[in-house]
Every structure is written in structure tokens, then in C-alpha cells.
């Protein structure tokens, strides 16, 4: 195998694959990436057996072939080669990868034959939808922070995609929930899939451009294709909680808030929360105003007052400030609606009909 390509293209491709490859794999071959030449292109594949990513770059191919190379050493080598635009890569019969950069840089990396590298997964009996890349990225950003990372709550360690008359994208950790709806995406068959957190994180890496996202899914796998990149991931096995049951049907008051002003007030209050314990920020509602405050005995007290249209009896609601800030750090809207009922019932933050976040207040 022998080819010439832009070093930046090869470096970017290897960096894309590096996070998916296992550091301490049960099968050593999956610490490697597969490099395979095709006409005028080089195809690179990485996998941890649960997630597989394939990408390709343009290249001038002199001799076709395939090999595998440890992703760590390939990545580090390419990162250290400076001041050259093109590199030549040649693989001999012993799977030694010979990299030549200019007249003075020559690197030899020992590879492994491609025969034992896992084959690329193929989906069967699958549904398919097409989603604009910006919309796909937005739905992951608006919900991903609410995923659980608690191994004891395995089924919540991912994002649920609920297909049917519309697409609902939902994440929850049991104390908060984020739901983003795409009414335009419809499927004849009602179905749900749960994509695990690592696959979600890898998908976000593929969405930098404007290419549309082709998404296919079966009962056990999901595939997304974005430009030259294809990702196939194993789905989580289990039933996602019925999120529709926790959507509040009643509200006592709806408050319109400026996203920036409210977020700044919560950040200011959180400065004096105890970082060694779970912080608490209090929202004190009174006629026409909301005070956002926090107090810790050995640190101090910070507070800000915001104007609102609240017209009820005085009420204090306490929250984990991280849960509030996660919402405002990930949404684009400059104005939100907050629905409150009482100090112990779920509070809802809405941007449009397409997004809601439900946060449980803290109880003492």
C-alpha cells in the first residue's frame, strides 16, 4: 500500500477516530485503526466493538492495500510533524507503516495485518430519517446535559429518540428532564431507541459542517452518515421511562425571564455556595420581582433582584444551581418562560413549543 495525502486531512481523521478506540481493550486489535486505500481516497476505521466510525480522505493512491496501526502512535506521530503540507505513507509486506514528510522526516510504525480487524457493522430491517446537521446538533445540545452518568441507573445513561407523529429527543437523570421536539420528522412506525452517552459524544464530533445527517436505526443499532463520516453504535437494551407521565399538566404562574440576566444572577449566587457539598440557590418570588440568592455561613451571601410579572403570594424555591445553569448554557433563546407551581413541585423552563426542561426543586 502506498499513498500521498495532505497531512492535515490524515491528522484530522486519526484524531476523530482516537476517542472511540479502547485504551485497554479485551482484543488488542481494537486499539488499532484500519487504514484501507481505495481509488483516489483512503478509508480509516476505528472501533471499540460498541461504536464503529469510518471516515475517508482524498489521496493520491499509488498502490492499494490495507493494514492496521495503533491509533495512539499514529496520532502522536502526526501531531509532531510540523511545517509540511503533504506526506507519503507506504506499508511493506511486514505491515511496517513508513511515513515520509519532506526530505528529512522518516517515521516507521509497526502495524498489524488487517485480517483480524472487526468487519464494519451492517444494519438490517431499519427505519431511516434525514435531519439537517444544525438541527441534529441542536437537539443533542439541548438535551445531552440531562443524561445520567450513574451506572446504577443504566437505562438513563443515554438519550431517548422517540419516533412517530413527531420526534421527541429526551434525556433525564431522575432529578431533571430535557425534551426537544422536532414536529417535521415523522415515521410510520412508532418506536424508541436509546443511544448511549459515548455514542452521543462521538456523534457531536461529526456535526461541525452543514452536511445533512442520514440516520438509520434497527432494534439493536443506529447508524448516522454525515459527509465522509459514518458512525454505527450499539443501542442500549431496555425500556426508557415514560417521560410523558412527568410532564406537568398544571401551572400556577408563568414567568417570562431574560436568559442572560437570569443566568448571570444564578452564577453570581453560586459563587458563595459550598463547592464541597451540593450547592443551593434560592429563588424568592414576591409581587413583581424575583430574588436569586445563595448563602453559606463561612463564605458569605450573594443576591440579585430581577423584575417579573409574578402576582402570587411570596414563595421560596431552592434549586441545585448546576441544573439551572446547564439549561441556559446550552440554549440559544434570549427569553424563556418559567412555570412554577409551589416549592416542592417540578418547575418547567420553556423556550418554544419545541423545548422544555423540568427541574425538581431541592427539599429540606
In angstroms, rounded to a whole number, what is the distance separating the alpha carbons of residues 156 and 150?
8
* Structural element, H or E, at residue 269: helix 259-270
Interval 49-63: pLDDT, tens: 999 999 999 999 999
Residue showing cell 484524531? 15
Secondary element (H or E) of residue 104: none
CATH 3.10.150.10 residue window(s) in the chain: 2-116, 127-245, 248-359
Identify the band that residue 43 occupies on the pLDDT scale cut at 50, 70 and 90: very high
Residue 252 or residue 287, greater confidence: 287
- Specify the pLDDT at position 90: 97
CATH of domain 127-245: 3.10.150.10
Q: So what's the pLDDT on residue 321?
A: 95
- pLDDT at residue 66 in the model: 97
- Spatial separation of the C-alpha atoms in residues 349 and 138, rounded to whole Å: 17
The region that residue 94 occupies, defined by phi over 0 for left and psi between -120 and 50 for alpha, beta otherwise, is alpha
CATH superfamily of 2-116: DNA Polymerase III, subunit A, domain 2 (3.10.150.10)
- pLDDT tens-digit profile of 143-175? 999 999 988 889 999 999 999 999 999 999 999
Q: How far apart are CA 270 and CA 175, in angstroms?
A: 19
CB 290 within 8 A of CB 308: yes
Please state the rounded mean pLDDT for residues 187-195.
Answer: 92
Q: What residues form DSSP beta bridges with 261? A: none
Q: What is the phi-psi region of residue 220: left when phi exceeds 0, alpha when psi lies from -120 to 50, beta otherwise?
A: alpha
In angstroms, the CA 316 to CA 310 distance is 13
Look at residue 315 and give its three-state secondary structure: strand
Q: Which residues pair with 168 in a beta bridge?
A: 162, 181
Query: In this structure, are residues 126 and 306 in contact, taking their beta carbons and an 8 Å threshold?
Result: no
CA angle 62, 68, 72 (to 5 degrees): 115
**338-351 confidence digits (pLDDT tens):** 999 999 999 999 99
Residue 364 confidence (pLDDT) above 80: no
Q: What is the pLDDT of residue 136?
A: 94
Percent of the chain with pLDDT over 90: 81
The CATH class, in words, for 248-359 is alpha beta
**pLDDT at site 188:** 86
User: What's this model's pTM, rounded to 2 decimal places?
Assistant: 0.91
Is residue 262 scored above 80 in pLDDT?
A: yes
CA-CA-CA-CA dihedral for 22, 28, 30, 33, to nearest 10: 110
Tell me: the pLDDT tens digits for 264-320? 999 999 999 987 677 899 999 999 999 999 999 889 999 999 999 898 899 999 999
- Which cell is 39 given? 481509488
Residue 119, pLDDT > 80, answer yes
CA distance 364 to 268: 22
Q: What is the rounded average pLDDT of the residues 36-60?
A: 96
Q: State the pLDDT at residue 247.
A: 83
- If you ran DSSP here, which 8-state letter would residue 152 be given? G
Amino acid at each position: 500500500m502506498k499513498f500521498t495525502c495532505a497531512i492535515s486531512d490524515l491528522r484530522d481523521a486519526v484524531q476523530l477516530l482516537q476517542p472511540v478506540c479502547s485504551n485497554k481493550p479485551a482484543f488488542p486489535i481494537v486499539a488499532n485503526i484500519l487504514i484501507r486505500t481505495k481509488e483516489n481516497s483512503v478509508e480509516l476505521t476505528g472501533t471499540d466493538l460498541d461504536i464503529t466510525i469510518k471516515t475517508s480522505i482524498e489521496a493520491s493512491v499509488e498502490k492499494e492495500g490495507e493494514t492496521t496501526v495503533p491509533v495512539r502512535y499514529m496520532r502522536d506521530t502526526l501531531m509532531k510533524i510540523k511545517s509540511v503540507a503533504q506526506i507519503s505513507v507506504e506499508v511493506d509486506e511486514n505491515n511496517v507503516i513508513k511515513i515520509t514528510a519532506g526530505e528529512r522526516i522518516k517515521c516507521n510504525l509497526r502495524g498489524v495485518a488487517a485480517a483480524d480487524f472487526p468487519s464494519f457493522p451492517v444494519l438490517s430491517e431499519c427505519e431511516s430519517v434525514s435531519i439537517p446537521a444544525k438541527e441534529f446538533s441542536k437537539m443533542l445540545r439541548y438535551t445531552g446535559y440531562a443524561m445520567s452518568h450513574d451506572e446504577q441507573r443504566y437505562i438513563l445513561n443515554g438519550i431517548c429518540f422517540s419516533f412517530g407523529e413527531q420526534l421527541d429527543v429526551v434525556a433525564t437523570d431522575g432529578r431533571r428532564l430535557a425534551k426537544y421536539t422536532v414536529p417535521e420528522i415523522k415515521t410510520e412506525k412508532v418506536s424508541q431507541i436509546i443511544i448511549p452517552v459515548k455514542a452521543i459524544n462521538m456523534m457531536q464530533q461529526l456535526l461541525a459542517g452543514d452536511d445533512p445527517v442520514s440516520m438509520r436505526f434497527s432494534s439493536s443499532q443506529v447508524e448516522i452518515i454525515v459527509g465522509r463520516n459514518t458512525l454505527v453504535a450499539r443501542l442500549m437494551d431496555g425500556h426508557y421511562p415514560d417521560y410523558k407521565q412527568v410532564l406537568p399538566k398544571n401551572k400556577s404562574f408563568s414567568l417570562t425571564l431574560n436568559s442572560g440576566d437570569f443566568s448571570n444572577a444564578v452564577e453570581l449566587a453560586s459563587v458563595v455556595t459550598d463547592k464541597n457539598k451540593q450547592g443551593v440557590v434560592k429563588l424568592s418570588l414576591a409581587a413583581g420581582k424575583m430574588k436569586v440568592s445563595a448563602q453559606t455561613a463561612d463564605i458569605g451571601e450573594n443576591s440579585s433582584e430581577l423584575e417579573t410579572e409574578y402576582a402570587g403570594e411570596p414563595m421560596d424555591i431552592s434549586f441545585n444551581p448546576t441544573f439551572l445553569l446547564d439549561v441556559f448554557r446550552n440554549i440559544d433563546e434570549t427569553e424563556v418562560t418559567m412555570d412554577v407551581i409551589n416549592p416542592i413541585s417540578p418547575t418547567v423552563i420553556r423556550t418554544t413549543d419545541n423545548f422544555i426542561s423540568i427541574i425538581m426543586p431541592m427539599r429540606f
